Amino acid sequence: MRAKSILLPVVALGLLWACGPATGGDPSWASKPAPDASLAPLTPGGDVAISSFKGKVVLLDFWATWCGPCKAIMPKLSELHKKYGSQGLEVMGITDEDRPLVQEFRAKNSQVSYPFYLDSSRVANTRYNVEALPTSVLIDKKGIVRGYFVGGDPNSGEFAKLEELIKQALAE
């Protein structure tokens, strides 16, 4: 019984590290050009470059099917997508997992309103220095990073900051 009592906190600590704590905006990314990467849409079609959305405000959401905090913020991201999509906000859910797994997840979570993209080569993950999930990156209409957020508490003040940044970027 002792082994289980030690193992559980170790596993929980590992999951917290893997998903990452909410750390807020990373000022080192502010005002830098957004790196480009090509992503495969989950739905059939050719690859899509992040830069092809220039002229729109883009919210990149790096996530995984196994990440609880990633799933916890999806309703909030869907809300932002529905609220600001007609004003020019594009939300892109980006994962490095296999297509069949993500398709199964999509089928079970049809309430998620924004599209998923596959980064199987991890180029986007690498270029955006994604070290914990979820990671959200806000890019303005000119292709400049306006916000970089790590963590997944939809009730945190970080989402209020993110929404404010979205409104500002859309107004420009």
CA distance 160 to 143: 22
Residue 135, domain extent: 2-171
Reading the block at residue 6, the tokens are 């030690």
Report cis status (omega within 30 of 0) of the bond before 134. yes
Rg of the chain (C-alpha set): 16
Question: How long is the chain?
Answer: 172
> What CATH number did the domain enclosing 60 receive?
3.40.30.10
E strands, the chain, are: 24-25, 38-41, 48-49, 57-62, 89-95, 116-118, 135-139, 145-150
Amino acid letter for position 17: W
Phi, psi of 56, rounded to the nearest 5 degrees:
-120, 160
Mean pLDDT of 74-89: 97
- In the chain, the number of structural domains is 1
Mean pLDDT of 82-103: 97
Q: Is the pLDDT of residue 143 over 90?
A: yes
Specify whether the CB–CB gap between 78 and 114 falls below 8 A.
yes
Mean pLDDT of 68-81: 96
Residue 156 pLDDT grade (very low, low, confident, very high; cuts 50, 70, 90) = confident
Residue with tokens 């000022």: 27
Mean pLDDT of 90-110: 97
pTM, two decimals, is: 0.84
| Average pLDDT score over the chain | 85
Reading the block at residue 154, the tokens are 């939809």
- Name the more confident of 22 and 81: 81
Q: Is the pLDDT of residue 21 over 60?
A: no
Mean pLDDT of 35-62: 96
Residue with tokens 């590992």: 14
pLDDT at 89: 98
CA distance 128 to 58: 14
